[in-house]
Each structure stands twice: as C-alpha cells, then as structure tokens.
Amino acid sequence: MAHPDKARPRGDKRYWLDERRNVDKIYYGLLIVCGALATAELFYEKHAHFAAENWFAFYGIFGFIACIGLVLTAKELRKLLKRGEDYYGDD
C-alpha cells in the first residue's frame, strides 16, 4: 500500500510501516480476517429479512463489489466533472 517515500527527510527515523514487507503483512492479514469472517457465517443461525441475506458471505461480497464499482464509476465521472482548481475564479 505504501509508496517509496522519496520525500522522507534524511536521517529521519525509520518506522515500522516504512518497510514494504510490513505493509504486505497488513494486506495479507486483512485477507485472512476477511476469509475468517466469511467462514464464520457457517457457525450461526441466520435471521434474514430478505432472501439475499441467506446467500453465502452476502454482506462481504456486496461490500467488495460495491466499493470496486464505486471507485471505477467515480473514476469515469472524473472525466466529466473534473475542472481546474480555480475554475470558479475564487482565488
């Protein structure tokens, strides 16, 4: 997740998150937790209001797809909506 930090001042203390490996650890940790949350569904009884709630990992998959869709749509919208910072001449 972290980019190489060229802007980091010299002699600056190195932090745990400055290591690429550690960022990877967080990422894989997140993957494992997500997997665990999906499987957790098998161990309790569901009380659903809507049929969709009974599908396996409905909330997780819905959230994942919704967010990917959201960003891709927003990225396209940017082509339509993006203007220069002082578009309205307020500065």
State the residues that interact with other proteins by CB under 8 A.
1-5, 7-9, 12-13, 15, 17-18, 27, 30-31, 33-34, 37-38, 40-41, 44-47, 49-50, 53, 57-64, 66-68, 70-75, 77-78, 80-88, 90-91
CB of 21 to other proteins, least distance (A): 14
37 sits in which H/E element: helix 20-40
Minimum CB–partner distance for residue 16 and other proteins (Å): 11
The DSSP line for 40-75 is: HGGGS----SSGGGGSTTHHHHHHHHHHHHHHHHHH
Position 27, amino acid: Y
